């Protein structure tokens, strides 16, 4: 039997998404404390193995309903939904923090809107905050910023939000905890003969066609279709995905022990997916000219520091793709700089400890971290063709 659990054993950074239905006690409409407790223990166990975890937690609308005397299953108007989310989100964050604190770490709330991951500048800000939280040992607890989300301006469901978060933090695994143990060839809640699908190598039209909407009349949104879309998005960023039940006592341990699930295995790593993406960015909005020392360092795979930049050409935003030019005048790499062109004109040639005085602030330790630059290499473009 194929050991799909090795995907989980080998993952170093995991995004776990848990749906509303898993977090609400059907009988009371309140938080299902057993589920919060169980997943808190599982996250602590992952962290003890050195795995970094980001949690995408649904449930704000469902947990907010009883607090505002809104019935558990009625259809809500947009303003009622926003209000319920505002009342329920504190319960989510407080409950997760209470559970995590038992294990010596904390929850940190991150509420995202589509503009936070679609606009380049905000994408970088969101990424930096999540990275910093992980570096400082917290568990980011992410949800859609439902109080400002409108029907048009929203991710719509937390499955796709979780995939975006997985892309944002370059996770190597997305775990979707649902009320079903994976993908079947038809909806198992209506067809008892539905056949389980344990492994998906590629999300094709045939796979997408299997997924139907949710049957849940209470809390769930999206059904299997949004989970497949999430898996497809995550895989494009080199992140494998697994869909399994969240109502087990130890859902992550169960996966490690071979519990039934559907595994979508990415065939590239998050790092190489990102390198392919950078290398193939077509619209380069400017160029940075490097001195000899910086050229050598970057060609050896090191980060670029402002001190080695001699000239800035063009107008570009922070995180927009630009080209690097070596001391002989040859373009040799593509980079996503941590500063825009105006800022770079101020700091080029400066030592790192002079940047804050010059700009009034400083971002990150390098002007372009090594992970955000790719040397020209025909092999990188070939990798993309192979992975398509
Ligand atoms: N092909 C399928 N395989 C598995 N589940 C399916 C399929 N088609 C539709 N579904 C439905 O999707 C539901 C899971 O989605 P959803 O209720 O939105 O869960 P969550 O609350 O975890 O987001 C299942 O309970 C099932 O009714
Ligand atoms: N942001 C919403 C959840 C949206 C959503 O996708 O819910 P679910 O299908 O339960 O994961 C909330 O917290 O209520």
**pLDDT band (50, 70, 90) for residue 285:** confident
In the predicted structure, residue 260 carries a pLDDT above the cut 80: yes
DSSP per-residue letters across 314-337: E---TT--EEEE-TTS-EEEEE--
pLDDT of residue 221: 60
Read off the pLDDT of residues 67-113 as tens digits, 9 standing for 90 and up. Answer: 999 988 888 999 999 999 999 999 999 999 999 999 999 999 999 98
pLDDT of residue 255: 96
Please give the CATH number for the structural domain made up of 275-387: 2.30.130.10
Cα 116 off chain centre by = 12
Q: SS3 of 164, please?
A: helix
DSSP per-residue letters across 334-350: EE--SS-HHHHHHHTT-
Indicate the Cα dihedral angle 158, 164, 168, 169, nearest 10°. Answer: 50
The residue contributing the CA closest to ligand 1 atom 12 is 223
Eight-class DSSP state of 249: S
Residues constituting the chain: 388
Burial of 115 (0-12, 13-18, 19+ CB in 10 A): middle
- For residue 304, the CA-to-ligand 1 centroid distance in Å is 46
Distance, in Å, from the CA atom of 151 to the CA atom of 272, rounded to the nearest integer, reads 35
pLDDT of residue 384: 41
Domain boundaries along the sequence of the chain: 5-267, 275-387
Q: Is 5-267 a CATH 3.40.1160.10 domain? A: yes
What's the chain's average pLDDT? Answer: 90
Q: Is the distance from the beta carbon of residue 186 to the nearest atom of ligand 1 less than 6 Å? A: yes
Distance, in Å, from the CA atom of 71 to the CA atom of 79, rounded to the nearest integer, reads 15
Read off the pLDDT of residues 110-138 as tens digits, 9 standing for 90 and up. Answer: 999 887 777 777 788 888 899 999 999 99
Read off the pLDDT of residues 326-367 as tens digits, 9 standing for 90 and up. Answer: 999 999 999 999 999 999 999 999 999 999 999 999 988 899
In the predicted structure, residue 220 carries a pLDDT above the cut 70: no
191 known ligand binder: no
Which of 177, 216, 219 should be mutated for ligand 1, with most atoms under 8 A from CB? Answer: 216
pLDDT of residue 378: 55
pLDDT of residue 177: 97
Tokens of 196: 């389980």
Averaged over 242-249, what is the pLDDT?
A: 94
pLDDT of residue 308: 97
Q: Is the distance from the beta carbon of residue 19 to the nearest atom of ligand 2 less than 6 Å? A: yes
146 known ligand binder: yes
Nearest ligand to the CA atom of 89: 2
**What's the complex ipTM?**
0.96
Which of 59, 158, 214 should be mutated for ligand 1, with most atoms under 8 A from CB? Answer: 214
Q: Is the distance from the beta carbon of residue 226 to the nearest atom of ligand 2 less than 6 Å? A: no
| Residue 143: φ, ψ to 5° | -145, 165
pLDDT of residue 388: 32
pLDDT of residue 154: 73
Which of 92, 112, 221, 230 should be mutated for ligand 2, with most atoms under 8 A from CB? Answer: 221
Which ligand 2 atom sits closest to the C-alpha of 214?
9
Which of 385, 334, 343, 388 lies closest to 367, judged by CA?
Answer: 343
- For residue 378, the CA-to-ligand 2 centroid distance in Å is 43
Which of 214, 229, 209 lies closest to 160, judged by CA?
Answer: 229
299 known ligand binder: no
Q: Is the distance from the beta carbon of residue 224 to the nearest atom of ligand 1 less than 6 Å? A: yes
Which ligand 2 atom sits closest to the C-alpha of 221?
9
Name which of 228-237, 278-287, 303-312 the model is least confident about. Answer: 278-287
pLDDT of residue 222: 66
In the predicted structure, residue 204 carries a pLDDT above the cut 70: yes
- pTM for the complete prediction? 0.85
């Amino acid at each position: 039997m194929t050991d799909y659990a090795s995907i989980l054993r080998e993952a170093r950074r995991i995004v776990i998404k848990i749906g509303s239905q898993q977090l609400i006690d059907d009988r009371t409409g309140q938080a299902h404390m057993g589920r919060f407790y169980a997943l808190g223990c599982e996250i602590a166990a992952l962290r003890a193995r050195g795995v970094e975890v980001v949690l995408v937690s649904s449930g704000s609308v469902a947990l907010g309903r009883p607090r505002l005397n809104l019935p558990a299953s009625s259809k809500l108007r947009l303003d009622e939904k926003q209000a319920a989310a505002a009342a329920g989100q504190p319960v989510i964050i407080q409950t997760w923090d209470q559970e995590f604190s038992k294990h010596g770490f904390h929850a940190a709330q991150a509420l995202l809107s589509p503009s936070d991951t679609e606009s380049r500048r905000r994408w970088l800000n969101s990424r930096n905050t999540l990275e910093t939280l992980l570096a400082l040992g917290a568990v980011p607890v992410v949800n859609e910023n439902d109080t400002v989300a409108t029907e048009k301006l929203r991710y719509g469901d937390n499955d796709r939000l979780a995939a975006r978060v997985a892309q944002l933090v370059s996770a190597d695994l997305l775990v979707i905890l649902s009320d079903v143990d994976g993908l079947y060839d038809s909806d198992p809640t209506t067809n008892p003969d539905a056949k389980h699908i344990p492994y998906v190598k590629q999300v094709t039209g045939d796979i997408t066609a299997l997924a139907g909407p949710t049957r849940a009349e209470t809390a769930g949104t999206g059904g299997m279709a949004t989970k497949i879309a999430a898996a497809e998005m995550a895989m494009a960023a080199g992140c494998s995905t697994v869909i399994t039940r969240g109502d087990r006592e130890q859902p992550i341990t169960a996966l490690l022990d071979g519990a039934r699930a559907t595994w979508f295995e990415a065939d590239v790593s998050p790092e190489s997916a990102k390198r392919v993406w950078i290398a193939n960015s077509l619209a380069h909005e400017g160029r940075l000219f490097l001195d000899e020392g910086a050229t050598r360092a970057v060609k050896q795979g090191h980060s670029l520091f402002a001190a080695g930049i001699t000239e800035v050409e063009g107008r570009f935003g922070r995180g927009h793709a630009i080209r690097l030019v070596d001391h002989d005048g040859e373009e040799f790499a593509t980079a996503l700089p941590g500063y825009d062109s105006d800022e770079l004109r101020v700091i080029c040639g400066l030592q790192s400890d002079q940047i804050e005085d010059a700009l009034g602030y400083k971002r990150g330790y390098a002007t372009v971290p090594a992970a955000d630059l790719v040397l020209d290499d025909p092999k990188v473009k070939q990798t993309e063709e192979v992975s398509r």
